[in-house]
Structures are given as C-alpha cells and as structure tokens.
Amino acid sequence: MAAPSAAPVEPPVHYLGVGARGGFNDSTAAVIKGKIKINGEDAPGLSLRPALLLGDEIEVRLPLTVDIELAERFYPFAGAGVAYNTDGLSAIDPMITGGSDFRLSERLILTLEGNLIFQTDAGDTDAEFIGTVNYEF
C-alpha cells in the first residue's frame, strides 16, 4: 500500500509580519509588512506588499509585485511602487523591489527583499534590505 502523498504547498496568499530594515543611506528600522494577493489563483500572481518602517522617521512602502512559484517553498517576486517618508522633504518617490518568500512551515513565511528608491527631490538613490517573519492567514 503506497503512502499518501503530501498536499502541494501553495504560495502564500495573505500575510502580516515583523522584521527589520538595513540600508546604505538609512538607519536600521523596525518593519511591519504585509502581502495581499490581488488576482485569482492563476500564476504568476499580482500582490500588493505594503510596509510600515519605524525608525528615526516613519516610512511607507507600497509596491505592486509579480509573484512566481519556482520551487516548492520558494516564491520570488519583483515589481515597482512608491516610497514615502516623513523627513523634511516628505516626498513620494518611485521604487523597484525584488525578493523572495520562503515557506518555513504551514503558516510561517520568511521574506527577504531589496528595494531601490529613486529620491528625485534629494537627487540620490537609496538601497535597502528588509527581512521579515510573517504569519499567513
């Protein structure tokens, strides 16, 4: 008698988590991050990935990403969006993002991502890395 096969592991649909941000031009910040899938079950998926960063300033990230399932438990994504911070400029800047979700268990997801933020008012580009542990619901 053959053993029953395990159910396939699906990409994360919605999650909320906490983590940290490190960057080249910014201080370390605490991060509250989420993922909201906005299209149906067909791959590749489209998701909003909002993040609230709490450090010396309050910052917000809102990218729209294309999510791809490459292998079980490994789900890369890439996209673009906007970044906002409460520094003296209070500007909304374009950004690009890329990273991956790694399924740790049935409900826990590790997300590692990198962002490039094009600060047009400041005349520079910020690079940051964010890592979060998320709970899928």
pLDDT at res. 41: 67
- Determine the 3-state secondary structure of 15 from DSSP: strand
Residue 54 in domain: yes
83 falls within a domain = yes
Domains contained in the chain, number:
1
CA torsion, ordered 125, 58, 37, 8, to nearest 10 deg: 90
Per-residue tens of pLDDT for the chain, all 137 residues: 555 555 556 778 899 999 999 988 778 999 999 999 998 666 678 999 999 999 988 999 999 999 988 888 899 999 999 999 877 677 899 999 999 999 999 999 999 999 999 987 767 888 999 999 999 99
Does some domain include residue 4?
A: no
Host domain of residue 82: 20-136
pLDDT, position 4: 52
Beta bridge partners of residue 20, listed in sequence order: 30, 131
Q: Phi and psi at residue 105, in whole multiples of 5°?
A: -155, -170
- DSSP string computed for 72-101: TTEEEEEEEEEEEE-STT--EEEEEEEEEE
63 burial via Cβ count (<10 Å: 0-12, 13-18, 19+): buried
**5 falls within a domain:** no
pTM attached to this predicted model: 0.87
CATH of the domain at 110: 2.40.160
Give the pLDDT score at 6. Answer: 56
13 in any annotated domain: no
Residue ranges with strand state E in the chain: 14-23, 29-37, 45-48, 51-54, 58-67, 74-85, 92-103, 108-119, 124-136
